[in-house]
């Protein structure tokens, strides 16, 4: 009995470790999530103990048949939106998402204003000036 | 003149923005667990691995959950403050020994004193994940209904206790 369960365990462990598709899904998801210990790294890049634990969580849950979005929800429930490398678009993040475009628009506005101001009005020539210019060009 | 005023205005606005923004601490991640029921768990006691502790036994009381580990230097820093809180009788202090080994944790307590009413042992850190723990020490205040009302990340200081924790515990005890 014991031997059988040991064999089963080894087989399971091997199956878990040798599922390249699962590996890929774990890695893809880990790239989307922030390691909270070393905040500018993703879970995939970090070797902090918590990152290792969370990668194992991702693997366990995906292996248990959960979808990517269910795993993401699991993380957000515990660590907040901060854990997402791509923050969701909602009331508190409007400025974050729209900010760059607002700056771009402001930039265009000031550029347009500057260019308009720099426009030199066409000089008004009197008949005399024209005659002189015509003479010079001859 | 108008142009100068404009430039100055923009400059002042930028300085204000940076003054506020640069002072925010990116390590203080707002916890989504505030106002939510404390995640359920049942863990063996560090001192008596045969016995178990569940957060449900604390229902009806305001209590403090302090997550610590013997491998965590800031935990040693806050230890006198935790001891103080526990001695003051403000609220029962329960320890959660996080990703530790009993053979390290027990001598640590012997050396530094054991301020905890009891200590739940979370060797794998799995319950820590449920509580959103990412930087030990972390301290939670849980109300009578079992709802998390407060979380402090990093070592608690006498100042934090006086300004945040004490008033909140008093309020929770009074308000039911």
- A-chain residues near B148 (CB < 8 A): none
Q: What angle do CA B67, B72, B74 make, to 5 degrees?
A: 85
- Please indicate if any CB of chain A lies within 8 Å of the CB of B50: no
Domain count, chain B: 1
In a domain, B97, yes or no: yes
**Residue B144 exposure: Cα atoms within 13 Å on the Cβ side:** 10
Q: Is pLDDT at A137 greater than 70 in this prediction?
A: yes
Residue A106 touches chain B, beta carbons under 8 Å: no
Q: pLDDT tens digits, chain B, 176 residues: what are they?
A: 788 898 999 999 999 988 888 887 766 666 788 999 999 999 999 999 999 999 999 999 999 999 999 999 999 999 999 999 999 999 999 999 999 999 999 999 999 999 999 999 999 999 999 999 988 899 999 999 999 999 999 999 999 999 999 999 999 998 75
Q: How far apart are CA A118 and CA B49, in angstroms?
A: 81
Residue A29 CA to residue A72 CA, distance in Å, equals 8
Who has greater pLDDT, A101 or B2?
Answer: A101
- Rounded Cα distance, A58 and A83, in Å: 13
Domain region containing B57:
33-175
List B142's β-bridge partners, or say none.
B63, B148
Q: Which of B107, B115, B45 is nearest to B79 (CA)?
A: B115
Residue B146 · residue B117 · CB < 8 Å? no
Cβ within 8 Å of residue B137, ≥6 positions away: B66, B67, B68, B72, B74, B75, B78, B154, B155, B156
Q: Facing residues of B118 across strands?
A: B94
Query: For residue A34, what is the nearest residue in chain B, using CA coordinates?
Result: B134
Name the A residues in 69-98 with CB < 8 Å from any B CB.
Answer: 76-80, 82
Which value does ipTM take for this structure? 0.77
Give the model's pLDDT for residue A6: 58
Domains, chain A, ordered by start:
2-88 (1.10.8.640), 89-138 (no CATH)
CA distance linking residue B158 with residue B85, whole number of Å: 9
Q: At what angle do helices A68-79 and A49-63 cross, to 10 degrees?
A: 140
- C-alpha to C-alpha distance for B38 and B59, rounded to whole angstroms: 11
- CA-to-CA distance for A80 and A65, rounded, in angstroms? 23
**Rounded Cα distance, A137 and A131, in Å:** 10
Q: How many other C-beta atoms are found inside a 10 Å radius of the C-beta of residue B130?
A: 17
Distance from the A19 Cα atom to the nearest Cα atom in chain B, whole angstroms = 24
Min Cα distance B50 → chain A (Å) is 24
Do residues B29 and B153 touch, judged by C-beta distance below 8 A?
A: yes
Q: Minimal CA–CA distance to A99: which of B17, B16, B20?
A: B17
Does residue B14 belong to any structural domain of this protein? no
C-beta of residue B44 within 8 angstroms of C-beta of residue B100: no
How many H-runs (helices) and E-runs (strands) does chain A carry?
6, 0
Please check whether residue B70 lies inside any domain of the structure.
yes
Q: What is the pLDDT of residues A49-98, one digit of tens each?
A: 889 999 999 999 999 999 989 999 999 999 888 888 887 888 777 888 88
Does some domain include residue B75?
A: yes
pLDDT tops 60 at residue A12: no
Tell me, what CATH number does B42's domain have? Answer: 3.40.30.10
């Amino acid at each position: 009995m014991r031997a059988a369960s040991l064999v089963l365990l080894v087989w399971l462990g091997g199956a878990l470790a040798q599922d390249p598709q699962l590996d890929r899904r774990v890695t893809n998801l880990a790239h989307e999530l922030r390691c909270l210990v070393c905040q500018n790294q993703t879970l995939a890049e970090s070797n902090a103990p918590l990152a290792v634990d969370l990668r194992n969580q991702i693997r366990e849950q995906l292996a248990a048949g959960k979808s990517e979005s269910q795993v993401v929800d699991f993380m957000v429930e515990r660590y907040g939106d901060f854990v997402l490398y791509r923050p969701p678009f909602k009331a508190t993040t409007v400025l974050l998402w729209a900010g760059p475009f607002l700056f771009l628009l402001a930039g265009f506005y000031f550029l347009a204003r500057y260019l308009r101001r720099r426009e030199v009005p066409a000089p008004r020539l009197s008949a005399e000036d024209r005659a002189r210019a015509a003479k010079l060009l001859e | 003149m108008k142009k100068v005023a404009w430039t100055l205005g923009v400059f002042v606005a930028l300085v204000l923005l940076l003054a506020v923004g640069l002072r925010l601490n990116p390590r203080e991640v707002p916890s989504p667990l505030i106002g939510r029921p404390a995640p359920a768990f049942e863990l063996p006691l560090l001192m008596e691995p045969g016995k178990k502790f569940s957060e449900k036994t604390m229902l009806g009381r305001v209590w403090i959950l302090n997550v610590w580990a013997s491998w965590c230097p800031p935990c040693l820093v806050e230890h006198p403050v935790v001891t103080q809180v526990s001695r003051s009788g403000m609220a029962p202090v329960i320890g959660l020994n996080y990703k530790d080994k009993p053979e390290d944790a027990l001598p640590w307590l012997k050396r530094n004193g054991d301020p905890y009413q009891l200590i739940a042992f979370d060797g794998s850190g799995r319950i820590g994940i449920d509580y959103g723990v990412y930087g030990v020490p972390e301290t939670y205040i849980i109300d009578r209904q079992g709802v998390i009302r407060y979380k402090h990340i990093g070592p608690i200081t006498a100042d934090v206790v006086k300004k945040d924790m004490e008033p909140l515990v008093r309020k929770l005890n009074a308000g039911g």
